[in-house]
Amino acid sequence: MKLLKRVNLQPLNTMAVPSVAEHFVRAGSLDEVKEALLWAKNNVQPLHILGGGSNCLLPENISGLVLQPILRGVKLLESNERHYLVKVAAGENWNRFVHHCLSKGYFGLENLALIPGLVGAAPIQNIGAYGVELCDLFHSLEALEISTGTLRRFEKDECEFAYRHSVFKGRLSKQFIITSVTFRLFKHPELNVTYPALRAALAGIPRKAISPQIVAHTVMEIRRSKLPSPELLPNVGSFFKNPVVDMETIEHMEQLYPDLVSYEVDANHKKIPAGWLIEKAGWKGREEFNVKVHDQQALVIVNPNKMPVTKVLRLAKAIQANIKARFGIDLEQEPQLLL
Ligand SMILES: Cc1cc2nc3c(=O)[nH]c(=O)nc-3n(C[C@H](O)[C@H](O)[C@H](O)COP(=O)(O)OP(=O)(O)OC[C@H]3O[C@@H](n4cnc5c(N)ncnc54)[C@H](O)[C@@H]3O)c2cc1C
């Protein structure tokens, strides 16, 4: 294990906030991850886990140890008539894994193409896009318990997956390091093209001609047209979760705003796009504290001047307060502060 001191994390987070880790380890094997855990324990240092840095916000100075697990490898565990079980190590790049699966004929992840980050972080917030969530294809995962250093397996029903949520973001937050994830993928394509933007983009293609590769390609085209690339304009994707509200709130909102957009969650709840609320409140394209709400996508906060996280959070808090005052709705922040 190579222990580095005072490491600049600005290039390692897609929001490009200035950040320095007191200690930093990039662990390429399970033994190195365990060694880093032991070092933190013996030296009574707080431990922070970093993946691809695309869904977290980094303080300017991080005390203790920042550990980046970069374990690699993809393994086909078994196959039957309908499914493949594919195990992938936490340090693999998510998008490259999706394309690897497509090239091997393991189907199901195509709607999740081009989501940034590493595999190990994907279950944490149950990544989702274009009508599919990670939990739809998830089988199990392995994770090291930070307090004991022992490897534990989690089945799907133990992960408490929900919209942008799992047990690792909730009850067991910061207690485990995910080391691998196993997916149950389809042998024969079972496409999900019901998401409105995807359906519209595929409208000109006969249903029988649509392949998983075409779905992945179309998803990537839509994403590139809608979302700013972090390399050009630093950001962490959606900054807020879409709020889920009860029918009474929806009816009240519909009376005030006949153009309200909402999606059914269950018989008693609907989801309102947070971007719609932020845009309606006039924040789209607005700059405050040298940080900006994206010109084309109000759900994305961009950091073109690479300002510190405190500035980003001030803008986020101003938006949250304004949305609460105007619509009575709480916006929950999606990226977590690495503390
Ligand atoms: C342009 C853009 C578009 C995006 N689009 C989407 C989208 O469509 N859908 C979506 O769901 N998300 C999206 N995201 C968010 C992000 O890409 C995902 O949440 C991704 O899974 C984060 O991976 P990461 O490796 O970068 O995680 P990081 O940001 O490094 O970490 C995120 C959290 O997970 C923890 N963590 C990381 N790795 C591990 C591990 N191995 N074990 C335990 N904890 C760990 C960290 O401590 C942190 O709390 C987008 C982000 C960007 C920048």
Shared domain check, 78 and 60 = no
Domain termination site, one of 179, 204, 226 = 226
Residues 6 or more apart in contact with residue 206 via CB below 8 angstroms: none
Q: Look at residue 293 in the predicted model and tell me its pLDDT.
A: 98
**305 and 260 in one domain?**
yes
What pLDDT does 129 receive? Answer: 96
Q: What residues make up the domain containing 10?
A: 4-69
**Residue 90 and residue 222 in one domain:** yes
Which residues are catalytic, by number? 164, 238, 334
Verify that 168 and 84 share a domain, yes or no: yes
pLDDT at 339: 77
Q: Tell me, what's the pLDDT at 268?
A: 95
Q: Whose structure tokens read 């886990």?
A: 49
- Which residue's CA is the nearest one to ligand 1's atom 45? 121
Same domain, yes or no, for 197 and 265? no
Task: Check whether residue 101 and residue 205 sit in a common domain.
Answer: yes
Statement to judge: residues 52 and 80 lie in one domain = no
CATH number of the domain residue 57 falls in: 3.30.43.10
Q: Enter the DSSP assignment of 2.
A: -
- What is the pLDDT, as a whole number, of residue 149? 94
| Judgement on whether residues 109 and 220 belong to the same structural domain of the protein | yes
Q: CA angle, 153 as apex, 150 and 158 as ends, to 5°?
A: 125
Element (H, E) at 8: strand 4-8
Question: What CATH code is carried by the domain that includes residue 111?
Answer: 3.30.465.10
Please list the helix, strand and coil fractions of the chain in percent, rounded to the nearest 5, in that order.
30, 30, 40
In sequence order, the β-bridge partners of residue 68 are 26
Residue 169 and residue 336 in contact, taking contact as beta carbons nearer than 8 Å: yes
Q: What is the pLDDT of residue 46?
A: 96
Best residue among 124, 161, 165 to mutate for probing ligand 1's pocket (most ligand atoms within 8 Å of CB) is 124
pLDDT at 181 (0 to 100): 98
Are 34 and 89 in a shared domain?
A: no
Residue of minimum CA distance from atom 12 in ligand 1: 127
Lining ligand 1 with CB less than 6 A are: 14, 49-56, 69, 90, 115-118, 120-122, 124-125, 127-129, 177-178, 227, 230, 235-237, 336, 338
Mutation pick for ligand 1 pocket among 10, 98, 114, 115 (CB with most ligand atoms within 8 Å): 115
DSSP 121: G
Q: Examine the domain organization and report whether 140 and 79 are in the same domain.
A: yes
Give the closest residue to 139 by CA, choosing from 152, 153, 149, 118.
153
- Whether residues 79 and 59 share a domain: the answer is no
Supply the CATH number for residue 273's domain: 3.90.78.10
pLDDT along the chain (339 residues), means of 10: 97 98 98 97 96 98 98 98 98 98 98 98 97 98 96 98 96 97 97 95 94 98 95 97 95 94 92 97 97 97 98 98 97 93
Q: How many domains does the chain have?
A: 3
Domain boundary among 173, 200, 226: 226
Same domain assignment for residues 58 and 78: no
For ligand 1, atom 48, which residue shows the shortest CA distance? 56
